[in-house]
Amino acid sequence: MTPKFAAPDTRAIPLRIVPRQGFDGWLAAQDEPVRDWVAASDFTGTAGQVLRLPAPDMAVARVLAGWGGAKERARVRFQTARIATQLKSGTYALEGDLSANEMEEAALGWLLAGYGFTRYAGEEREPARLKVPKGVDATRLEAIAAGEFLTRDLINTPASDMGPAELEAAVRDLATRHDARLHVTEGDELLASNFPMIHAVGRASTRAPRLIDLSWGTEGPQVTLVGKGVCFDTGGLNLKPGASMGLMKKDMGGAATVLGLAHMIMATSTPLRLRVLIPAVENAVSGNAFRPGDILTARNGLTVEINNTDAEGRLVLADALALADETPPDLMICMATLTGAARVAVGPDLAPFYTDDDALAMALAQAGKRVRDPLWRMPFHRPYDAMIEPGIADLDNAPSGGFAGSITAALFLDRFVRETPRFAHFDIYGWTPSAAPGRPKGGVGMGARAIFDALPRVLDL
């Protein structure tokens, strides 16, 4: 489903946002029939409450929607998604004393409530529609929601239907929609083109590995997005236990997220030059699988000792980052479902990120708060560099000891970005474990909306 606001001239039912704070004063100012109906319905402005007020002919005259208090809103994002789900049908027009940021979140939440993954079961439903609120950029919010829907669809699709070739097809479709250019390096061509670690990780699968390279735009600063595209991760010869393998269709969540972000950028004609690099592989097991103890040579010449074949994401990303760094962009963003350590540190809802650029970190953090896409800065702690230096090779892909797993993975990736002035790495989860307003259980974008919001400030657009 394509997320869209109702046409501006559509007749709509007024939907009044009613905060809990000041509720008594608001109620006292209403007509007696309204006061009686509200009292009889036990409506108090609690977050998520919905009350339909009847007209004399018993049609719905308007709707009251509880907005809760500040603490409730801090705990739950996208309250309007919960409201839209309860209303189910009809067209509505938001009213209420909301700030510009709150109104934008409300409108976006409404669009996000329309998402459902129905490829294999169920039917698409026509959600309740919303007229775009005054002062809200409809085109921008529709592009953001569509980018998020793309990310979710890609992550939710099982690996049987989302291997490297299918991921390439999704990128090709996106390129066609936005008149972008696409180049793909596949199979043994990876060796001829000096992408040895992408090839090593993907060669054991019957589904050929590839590097997908999309570019768009001819003017403005250069932004390169690199997304981990491990379409399924068995762990390789260091085979995962079954319980850990169950969600590995989402191991291409980094690729899915940068594609959603790329759609936001292209659909809004953001004035920059965009490049998207996705190393797309399946980490499988066969007689030619790469092994613990192997030493691989990366694109930039660094040697890597393999101490765990289940730490494969950083290997394929390394070749892609090295390629991007050869023609340094103004800003490079890396997105990956990289480590379980990040989830232990911050849980499934926060997107941890790494950068040495304080101004970039501040811009991202502020954007995350502004658009309710929560981020958390993590440290490139340089004293831990010794942990990824095994002696027998330049780098260790999986240092022993169990300490600082997300940090050491970020430090590993940072070795492949030497010339780019501004770099940030996101170690995301890409999955909502239990349903929340606007975010059903399943695949989810993390950090993309914050990055998109920050780009004009970071790049002086």
**Rounded CA separation 378/373 (Å):** 16
Average pLDDT (438-448) is: 97
Q: Which position among 240, 273, 370, 377 bears the catalytic label? A: 240
Q: Which of 27-41, 335-349, 438-452 has the lowest mean pLDDT?
A: 27-41
| β-bridge mates for residue 425, sequence order | 334, 354
pLDDT, tens digit, 9 for 90 and up, residues 88-141: 789 999 998 889 999 999 999 999 999 999 999 988 888 899 999 999 999 999
Return the pLDDT at 189. 98
Alpha helices in 232-378 (DSSP H): 242-245, 253-267, 313-326, 340-346, 358-370
Residue owning tokens 């919001």: 453
**Rounded CA separation 266/176 (Å):** 12
**Using an 8 Å Cβ cutoff, are 225 and 262 in contact?**
yes
Angle at Cα 281 formed by Cα 448 and Cα 319, nearest 5°?
Answer: 75
Q: Which position among 228, 249, 314, 343 bears the catalytic label? A: 314
Residue 164 has pLDDT above 80, yes or no: yes
3 state SS of 61: strand
Return the pLDDT at 183. 98
pLDDT, tens digit, 9 for 90 and up, residues 185-223: 999 999 999 999 999 999 999 999 999 999 999 999 999
In the chain, what's the furthest Cα-to-Cα distance? 83
Here the tokens at position 176 are: 């066609």
**Rounded CA separation 13/91 (Å):** 6
pLDDT, tens digit, 9 for 90 and up, residues 317-326: 999 999 999 9
Residue owning tokens 């929609």: 177
**Rounded CA separation 136/105 (Å):** 10
3 state SS of 130: strand
- At residue 347, what is the residue type? G
Average pLDDT (223-247) is: 97
Alpha helices in 42-97 (DSSP H): 70-75, 79-87
Q: Identify whether 314 is a catalytic site residue.
A: yes
* Nearest partner of 397 among 381, 380, 415, judged by Cα: 415
Q: Kindly indicate the confidence band of residue 21, based on its pLDDT and cuts at 50, 70 and 90.
A: confident
pTM: 0.96
Q: Which helix (H) or strand (E) holds 215?
A: strand 210-216
Here the tokens at position 18 are: 């009613």
Rg (CA), the chain: 24
Q: What is the DSSP letter of 388?
A: G
* Nearest partner of 230 among 335, 331, 110, 352, judged by Cα: 335
Residue owning tokens 């981990």: 228
Average pLDDT (227-238) is: 98
Q: Kindly indicate the confidence band of residue 348, based on its pLDDT and cuts at 50, 70 and 90.
A: very high
Neighbours of 166 (CB within 10 A): 17
Return the pLDDT at 70. 86
Q: Which helix (H) or strand (E) holds 40?
A: helix 32-40
Neighbours of 14 (CB within 10 A): 14
Residue 401 has pLDDT above 90, yes or no: no
Q: What is the DSSP letter of 254?
A: H
Q: Identify whether 291 is a catalytic site residue.
A: no
**Using an 8 Å Cβ cutoff, are 331 and 350 in contact?**
no
**Rounded CA separation 59/69 (Å):** 30
HSE (side-chain half, CA atoms, 13 Å) at 221: 18
Residue-range domains of the chain with CATH: 13-114 (3.40.220.10), 141-459 (3.40.630.10)
